[in-house]
Amino acid sequence: MTDSGPSRPRFRRPAMLDPRDADQLPGDMDPALRSQVAHTTAAAIVHRGRSEGEEDPALVERLVRLVETEGLDVVAALWSDSPATTLPGTLWRLYVLREWVRRDPRTLADRYRLGLDAAPVHHVVVGVVSPPGPEELRELLDAVLSGVWTGDLAVTLERGAAFCRVLATGAAFDADHLDLTGDDASLRLTRSAGSLVRTAEELEQAAHLWRSGSLE
């Protein structure tokens, strides 16, 4: 997909999400209208970021920190119901990954290290120091999100997918360890590993769609 093409709707404040957009997304809203709002906001943000991000690092920084400035509930109201293989659904998954790492970097760094040796190819795709600490994981997810606007989006999505696969492997190892103690947390970690694998598959499919010009 190229950055040129038919003009897209532009917002007065396109660098950030307008909370008023989320306020007008009640749970019983017509699904077609909800989908239209999701796609319009995602397209406007990606179009602005990719057209201006290379020359405006401050804009990219604001976009990376979107959840911190606008709130997770605002972003969720706009994009969380979108199918995985759409632009808003893809952005939502990347922001959720970043927020997860931002809130619990130590646990996830430990889990990533558990999965690293068993998934070396995916670790290479991720492109982070070995083994990463909490701060390196924070920086990694910031870099992944930055790549949405300043790099090859397909490669960015593949990095995110590889990160999920390494983390899923670590979660599975952690679940096996806890299973020996009879801890109920083992089941939760097993489910988490499965969810991460699904997210990885969704990001990989989104990368394929972007390359073919079909991620909308």
Could you tell me if residue 34 is inside a domain?
yes
Amino acid making up residue 207? A
Could you tell me if residue 11 is inside a domain?
no
What is the domain range of residue 136? 19-211
> Could you give the CA distance from residue 82 to residue 91 in angstroms, rounded to a whole number?
10
User: Is residue 102's pLDDT more than 80?
Assistant: yes
Could you tell me if residue 10 is inside a domain?
no
Closest CA to 5 of 51, 66, 45: 51
pLDDT of residue 83: 93
Find how far residue 60's CA is from the centre of its chain. 15
pLDDT in tens, 177-211: 665 555 566 777 788 888 999 999 999 999 999 99
The highest-confidence range among 65-69, 73-77, 207-211, by mean pLDDT, is 207-211
Tokens of 39: 């796609």
CB under 8 Å to 88, separation ≥6 — which residues? 38, 39, 41, 42, 78, 79, 82
Could you tell me if residue 216 is inside a domain?
no
Could you tell me if residue 9 is inside a domain?
no
Could you tell me if residue 161 is inside a domain?
yes
pLDDT in tens, 139-153: 999 999 999 998 899
Residue 157: half-sphere exposure toward Cβ, Cα within 13 Å: 26
Tokens of 79: 């994009």
Could you tell me if residue 109 is inside a domain?
yes
pLDDT in tens, 1-34: 434 333 333 333 333 444 344 444 445 567 788 8
Please state, rounded to an integer, the average pLDDT across all residues of the chain.
82
pLDDT in tens, 148-185: 998 899 999 999 999 999 999 988 887 766 655 555 66
Tokens of 116: 């690293």
- Our count of domains for the chain comes to 1
